[in-house]
Structure 1
């Protein structure tokens, strides 16, 4: 008997933690991002939590880009 299994993956994009190397680099990245800020580990975590929840039951086989609009699929 077939069992439905949702398979999704998270595309890793620039996410910055306390260890970001240079403020100049961050400012350059921010200037290119439509939302005006880099993504945080919390942004990534919220997406992963959603994909692991029952609320994402209609999403399967998708690449989810959490990048503030920096890359359009």
Structure 2
């Protein structure tokens, strides 16, 4: 949420509501959320955001996190 203090939109709030879900596994994490405007000043369309994270330490457990030189 934002409310400009000056200009033609002074005092009028804008922002989005972002409901979503996250799935967490042993090797990856997946998140998906909707982007919903709270009013016409914030926009009229609905957006979607997704993220995929890989846990490289778990995937390459024999290579990452080991000393380079013994």
Query: Shorter-normalised TM-score: what interval?
Result: under 0.3
- Considering only CA atoms, is the larger Rg found in Structure 1 or Structure 2? 2
Structure richer in strand, relative to its length = 2
Structure richer in helix, relative to its length = 1
TM-score by length of 2: 0.25
Q: Which has the higher contact order (CA 8 A, sep 6+)?
A: 1
